[in-house]
Structure 1
Amino acid sequence: MAGMTVIECAGSPLEMGRAHGEQARPVVRRALEAWREVTAPSGVAGLLTGSPLLGTVRRLRPELADELRGIAEGAGVPFEDVAAYNWMDEGWWMRRRHLREHGCSVVGGQPAGGPYLAQNMDLPAFMDGSQLVLRLRPQDGPEQVVLTSAGLLALTGVNAAGVAVCVNTLDMLSGDPYGLPVAAVIRGVLARRDRAAAVAFLRGVDHASGQHYAVGDASGIESLECSAAGAVPVPLREGRLIHTNHPLASDDLDAGALDRLRETGSVRDSENRLRFLDAALRPDGTPGEAETALADDTVPICVPGVPEWPTRTFGSVVYELGGTPRARIRPGLPGRAQWLEPGWAG
């Protein structure tokens, strides 16, 4: 991780995808192999491939469908596998019997130096080692820097116009197989040039999965819980944004999923993380303080790489949005991966 470089992807959507796939070919192939091995017993790959999700992306965000095809061509892997791998959040709720024991913690603030968003991205342990940082330079739209897994469109990111997005999955909210998948929603947000346009996009699109989106720019930050029923705003806490993996505003609940998440302790874990972050972060706290809080492994906020634990912290990000946007990305665990500051190609 210490020697990780930023992968440059520029041009048409197909060209950007090919650059991603070609430059990260061995990592994409390893990521897909691990994904196939884990998902084979559940049949989720076939479920995702046969779902209407790709059709929705082709209809609403055709450039992203082209980019996925470019990734597959560049890496020399089946397009269907790349597409299904990108519907990660959708696979989690479609395969209810395998509700996972992990989640993400998102924080944000509006101190004197300007707004910021930060998060830990916690993912299944088999994805560790597939971390990539991409610099995307589309023909139309702002330059983007994203943290992702090899082969995925994006997990979280910020663009040169100063719009940033962080996310938490909300497995207990209802999903819609005809909605837009999370990865495509994230890239839709990053195609916007200000927070108002990003929020309007989130409110206007049909969502495939229950998900919390934290969106910010130099003018401030907002929090929305999205599901099949639409987008619900979440009030900030004394100007701070703090969110984990249970809804704070939406009541579009899947009762069966909620019961199972309570039984497994996932809801309790999410509530513990929320309380910890609420106590740890001052209303006027700095991005550095958020970075320190997200490295804590006692709650745990940061999930260490314990072999028998099903998840771990895949990476962390801090986006400073006052003035020229600044991205700090750590593609891995504290102490094992270094912070990167990709900057902008211009």
Structure 2
Amino acid sequence: MKILNLEGTAKEIGRQHGEQGKKEIDKSMETYERLFYEYQGIDWKTVRERALIHVPAIEAFDSVLLDEIEGVAEGSGLAFEDILALNARSEIALTGDAHTSFSDGCTSICTSSPLTADTIIGQNWDWKATQKDSLLMMNIERKDRPNILMVTEGGIIGKIGCNEHAVGVGLNALHSSKKSDGVPIHLGLRSILDSASLHEAMGKIQEGQMASAANFMIGYSEGAHHGMTFHVEVSPFGIAITNKEASHGVHTNHICSQEIQMQVGEGNNLRYSDSEIRKRRAEQLLAQAIQNKTEITEETFKIWLSDTFNAPNSINHFVNKQAPVHRRMETIFGIVMNLTKNRIYICDGMPVDHPFQKYTVKREKEKQV
């Protein structure tokens, strides 16, 4: 996984992303151009046109995001519409016919006080093997917004990570039959990472600003025993918090809120053979730890993300050759974030086969004055 250290204005950060991550951006373009054409029958020109409908909403939401997208386009030598389309790929891919829509999969787990002194969030990201070559880990430093560490796909400016204010976010893709012309969910993820507090992060998504349905796993810490975690299903029609316990929760790739499901429709035709089992297994692992009074740490999360129960459709996901071709996926990376202690562990590949490497976010007190 290539590491990019980016700094400056939004346009400068985007340009550096485009220049240094051009190979990874080209891989993203290749993957999604093929997927859209083969499984939805739409060419890239149509994809670009569909992405442009989101520009007014993004402009009203946070125009700085468009500046960064423009920078990525300039740096990579691609058109603005190409990079915008990558950032709106979920809105184009996840909505519509369950037999043609495709998406990444994920299992996400979070814990906080009183179950754990530290606020910890972690997940696997499951997707096409070809996108292994698109992964970028970005360290972003800015004077006017929080420093960020995140893992993303080349060209996409928001995904999974945390910032210097101990705000972290994960993603579970959700299939649905409805979307809007609102803010693409990957830009919603970036807005969480651009937030200096929990209330700021939640305020950015609470009014139905997101264009499509997704689950955002949000964690926040103000120190030991002072943290909180949420699984927030976002949609064009509002949000729903689905973890019943304030101290822990899990999510996979089906809609859990009945209200959200009624509004957007459940489009995951593999819910009961894959997503539901992974969710129950994650709940089971948490329940076992609680019952046995096991100390839950980052190492516990690593073990959970390596779990192979019900393989190939396990938390550590393997390719299921019985699934439709466009729905076959495998775990591409795993991430565990201790937001209290600023310890981030990233596994480049399947956790069952690969080690986690430790990283940190550069915090305000560490910045050069």
> Shared topology, TM-score over 0.5?
yes
Indicate which of 265, 268, 276 corresponds to 1:261. 268
Alignment of 1:138-157 (within 5 A): 138-157=142-161
- Note the alpha carbon deviations across 1:135-168, whole angstroms, 9 max, x for none: 1113311100001011111221100110001111
Separation of aligned partners in 1, 2:88 and 2:278:
26
Structure 1 residue runs without a partner (length 5+) = none
CA deviations on 1:294-328 (whole Å, 9 max, x unpaired) are 11233311223578672121211111022x42211
Quote the offset at 1:106 in angstroms.
0.8
**1:113-152 matched pairs, under 5 angstroms:** 113-152=117-156
Q: Is 1:16–1:138's contact at 8 Å kept on the other side of the alignment?
A: no
Moved more, 114-123 or 296-305: 296-305
* Residues 1:240 and 1:72: Cα distance change in structure 2 (over 3 Å): same
CA contact under 8 A between 1:331 and 1:337: conserved in structure 2? yes
Once the 2 structures are TM-superposed, how far is the Cα of residue 195 of structure 1 from its aligned partner? 1.5
Go from structure 1 to structure 2 and tell me whether the alpha carbon gap of 1:16 and 1:205 turns closer, same or farther (over 3 Å shift). farther
Q: Distance in 2 between matches of 1:20 and 1:48?
A: 22
Deviations 1:249-287 (A, max 9, x none): 2423369953x533xx23431110111111112346323
Corresponding residue of 2:90:
89
Give me the whole-angstrom Cα distance separating, in 1, the residues matched to 2:309 and 2:46: 37
Q: Does 1:277 align with 2:282?
A: yes
Deviations 1:54-107 (A, max 9, x none): 332123221111111111111112221111011121112345341337521110
What are the Cα deviations for residues 214-234 of structure 1, in whole angstroms up to 9, with x where unaligned? 111112112211112101122
- Give 1:103's aligned residue: 105
Cross-structure match for 1:180: 183
Pairwise CA RMSD = 2.4
Q: In the alignment, is the contact (CA less than 8 A) between 1:44 and 1:91 conserved in 2?
A: no
1:303 is aligned to 2:307: no
Q: 2:249 aligns with which of 207, 216, 241?
A: 241
2:229 corresponds, among 208, 221, 230, to 221
Q: Unpaired runs of 5+ in structure 2?
A: 222-226
The two structures have a TM-score, normalised by structure 1, of 0.89
What secondary structure is seen at the aligned counterpart in 1 of 2:12?
helix
Deviates more, 1:220-229 or 1:295-304: 295-304
The answer to whether structure 1 residue 344 and structure 2 residue 361 are counterparts is yes
1:252 lines up with 2:252 in the alignment: no
What letter matches 1:197 in structure 2? E
Query: For residue 140 of structure 1, what is the amino acid of its counterpart?
Result: D
Q: What is the aligned-residue identity percentage?
A: 22
- Indicate the residue corresponding to 1:11 in structure 2: 8
Distance 2:276 2:43 in 1: 29
SS in 2 for 1:274: helix
SS in 2 for 1:128: helix
**Aligned runs of 1:194-233 on 2, under 5 Å?**
194-218=197-221, 219-233=227-241
Check whether the contact 1:170–1:210 (CA below 8 A) recurs between aligned residues: yes
CA distance in 2, matches of 1:157, 1:60: 21
Q: 1:315 aligns with which of 318, 330, 333?
A: 333
User: How many residues get paired?
Assistant: 338
Distance 1:156 1:38 in 2: 22
The SS at the match of 1:129 is: helix
Maintained 8 Å contact 1:170/1:211? yes
Hey, what's the Cα distance between the residues in 1 that align with 2:162 and 2:216? 13
Displacement, 1:120?
0.8
Distance 1:305 1:267 in 2: 17
Give the letter for the 2:281 counterpart.
F
Pair 1:329 & 2:329 matched: no
Aligned amino acid, residue 15 of structure 2: R
Instruction: Specify the alignment match of 2:35 in structure 1.
Output: 38
1:256 and 1:165 mapped to 2: Cα distance?
Answer: 23
Alpha-carbon distance in structure 2 between the residues aligned to 1:30 and 1:252: 34
- Deviation, 1:185, is 0.4
CA distance in 1, matches of 2:320, 2:302: 22
Contact 2:306 2:352 in 1 (8 A): no
Alpha-carbon distance between aligned partners in 2 of 1:47 and 1:194, rounded to the nearest angstrom: 38
Q: CA deviation at 1:9?
A: 1.1
Q: Structure 2 CA distance, aligned partners of 1:12 and 1:238?
A: 37
Partner-residue secondary structure (3-state), 1:204: coil
Match of 1:241, SS?
A: strand
Give the letter aligned to residue 307 of structure 2: D
Distance across 1 between alignment mates of 2:265 and 2:256: 16
1:104 maps to a residue whose letter is C
Superposed CA offset, 1:13-71 (max 9, x none): 11000111111122212221232222234216444422311332123221111111111
Residue 166, structure 1, aligned to residue 170, structure 2: yes
- Distance in structure 1 (CA, Å) of the matches to 2:9 and 2:59: 16
Change (3 A) 1:250 1:242: same
Q: Secondary structure at the match of 1:61?
A: helix
